[in-house]
Chains A and B, each alone.
Chain A
Amino acid sequence: MRISSAFSPGRWLIYGVLTLAALFFLLPFYVMLVTAFKTMPEVYSTGILALPDSLNFSAWIHAWSAATIGAASEGIHGYFLNSFILVIPAVIISTAIGAFNGYVLTHWRFRGSNIFFYMLLLGTIIPFQIVLLPMAWVQGRIGIAGTLVPGLMMVHVIYGLAFTTLFFRNYYVGIPHDLIKAARVDGAGFFSIFFRIMLPVSTPIIMVTAIWQFTMIWNNFLFGVVFTQGGQQPVTVAINDLVDTVTSVHMWNVDMAAAIFAALPTLLVYLIAGKYFVRGLTAGAVKG
């Protein structure tokens, strides 16, 4: 096998293309960032790529605590908090149930478990829009319509189950069934095996699933706008309201600052846990 040198023309081409792609994707974020640090007169007088004269934080402060959203002028901070109140339990619950489903589907097969799994798989390709009406009907019937928690949270948990189950199922398939058999002979039961044998080796896939679910739920707009109103809304919906609430002038710098606030948690999650994400996606079987 030929080992190509680090400076071969092919390498240069690959790095060149990758650099261009990175710049292309980073450009919008760059525009958002510089705009958020400008004053409104500056926004109008300079090009969108131009750097601000000075680091001006007034747009950030305004977006956080004073911008008008809907009827109130308290900024996005309350909605930002809403998103956390929504995302944290939704991620934990959907990941936990997914882990449990994956465990059952791989190591406690039952009659029809394959059909059950394929039906769940179907859930991963169902568009958001299809769930709206039936979900609204169910929520109305059980009396949790319009609430952030448990209403919207339940929507995300149910919608996410197909994905979390798929992740854990594919991970647990790689764990030798002999481990479960050994534990049964050793006197461990269904739950004891799950908590003491399976979960301790699941860190990579828990990270993958949690990051995936965090991103999906945090960034989701449609469910938020359909199932919550007013002060119950998550930050994605609030930003939309912020942009839509037109006063005398459109404050681009405030919009951009608010949008960056909203993007920050997912950005941080990827920066901190991104390596687990890659590791978990490529993790093979746990050698017994």
Chain B
Amino acid sequence: MGRLILKNIHKTFGKDEVLHGINIETEENQFLILVGPSGCGKTTLLNIIAGLERESAGDILINDRRVNDQSPKNRDIAMVFQSYALYPSMSVRDNILFGLVNRHVPKEEREQILQDVAHMLQLDHLLDRRPRQLSGGQQQRVAIGRAIARRPALFLFDEPLSNLDAKLRVEMRTEIKRLHQQLQTTMVYVTHDQIEAMTMGDLIAVMNDGIIQQLGTPDAIYNDPANRFVAGFMGSPSMNFIPVTVCQGEGTVWLEVREEGQAVSRLPLPPVLQSGLKTAVDRKVILGIRPEQITDPGSAREGSALHTMELKVDMTEPTGADTLVFTRLHKTPLVARAHPSTKLVLGSNTPLSFHMERAVFFDPDDGQRLA
């Protein structure tokens, strides 16, 4: 259950418009991620869905019921906060039951729900503790338990994992995903962490400057970004952006890196990408290529449209699974991913293979995707 539709949501604070017409429609039981840098409007949007802030225009539908004029209490939602927001003076039990007591749920039913929730989240032995006697991870579980106890149509999460340490964050990520499968309810999850967005979401809305830059599956967002912002925001390390000029001649299209009008490097294009760039011939475009698409030749995939160049190693960052190579293509800094066994000497040249078939192109002025 649980289906959320946002129609043309606007929000203004005084003279500043912070949301410029947000449209989102989820299926039932979807995991929707609102991701973006701080100040992009994602938390404001979540508060509007919850009814904690009033939208300036637009419609909010939960399970096809327009809830604009409903108080948070009557929207059939539950919310988990970044700061956990557990009531400090109440025991874990009372925290979990607070929403049920306010809604006059009968006592026997409350006890049953409490048992179920405590069991599901392994809180049984903590029910009589106060929030301050719990660890961060336990507090987070209580906060989630409090939300689950309500059995809402819609769960709202406001950066729930950002106060946890790295290990716990990964564990809770899995736990929330498991809960989503178990509860069969739509969840809306706000985060600024693109890894959380990629790993947890069915549907990702990448937001910036109060606009949805792209709404799509994790795969579409990552591999088929709508614009340079989405391409640069999702993925770590960030996508490489190289200013190039599109050239055409003798029935083929290629790219040139130019310095003061002179071509200093030439990059071939696989045929599938050539047609898309025909309209941009003689223009400057931004070539986008992810670090994992620039590898040592040994790691290159068979059958790829490879282009190998010798580039100078400025710095390396071994991550264990692979080694990040910081280099430059003329003046443009690049990050590449090499197999950890690759011999890399700082200051020396090393061959790096560009998987050009995965390259994407953006307009240098407005950042929109060209091909």
- Tell me if B73 and A184 are in contact (CB < 8 A): yes
Assembly CA distance A197 to B89 (angstroms): 7
Kindly state whether residue B88 has any CB partner on chain A within 8 Å.
Answer: yes
- Tell me if B72 and A178 are in contact (CB < 8 A): no
Assembly CA distance A200 to B99 (angstroms): 18
Interface string of B68-96 (1 = CB under 8 A from A): 00011100011101111111111000000
- Tell me if B50 and A185 are in contact (CB < 8 A): yes
Name the contact of B77 in the complex, choosing from A178, A185, A188, A287 (C-beta under 8 A).
A185
Assembly CA distance A287 to B158 (angstroms): 18
- Tell me if B87 and A185 are in contact (CB < 8 A): no
Chain B residues in 8 Å Cβ range of A287? 88, 132
- Tell me if A184 and B52 are in contact (CB < 8 A): yes
Name the contact of B99 in the complex, choosing from A181, A186, A201 (C-beta under 8 A).
A186
Kindly state whether residue A288 has any CB partner on chain B within 8 Å.
Answer: yes
The size of the chain A interface, using a CB distance under 8 A, is 19
Assembly CA distance A286 to B132 (angstroms): 10
Kindly state whether residue A192 has any CB partner on chain B within 8 Å.
Answer: yes
Q: A161-191: which residues lie under 8 A (CB-CB) from chain B?
A: 176, 178-179, 181-188
- Tell me if A179 and B85 are in contact (CB < 8 A): yes
Kindly state whether residue B279 has any CB partner on chain A within 8 Å.
Answer: no
Kindly state whether residue B103 has any CB partner on chain A within 8 Å.
Answer: yes
State the majority secondary structure of interface residues on A. Answer: helix
Chain B residues in 8 Å Cβ range of A184? 52, 71-73
Chain B residues in 8 Å Cβ range of A192? 102
Contact A188 B52, CB 8 Å, known A178-B82, A183-B87: no
Assembly CA distance A245 to B80 (angstroms): 69
Assembly CA distance A196 to B47 (angstroms): 23
Chain A residues in 8 Å Cβ range of B84? 178, 288
- Tell me if A178 and B83 are in contact (CB < 8 A): yes
Q: From B84, which residue of chain A is reached at the shortest CB distance?
A: A288
Assembly CA distance A286 to B88 (angstroms): 8
- Tell me if B72 and A179 are in contact (CB < 8 A): no
- Tell me if A182 and B81 are in contact (CB < 8 A): yes
Chain B residues in 8 Å Cβ range of A187? 73, 99, 102-103
- Tell me if A176 and B99 are in contact (CB < 8 A): no
A-binding residues in B (CB < 8 A): 47, 50, 52, 71-73, 77-79, 81-90, 98-99, 102-103, 131-132, 146, 150, 158
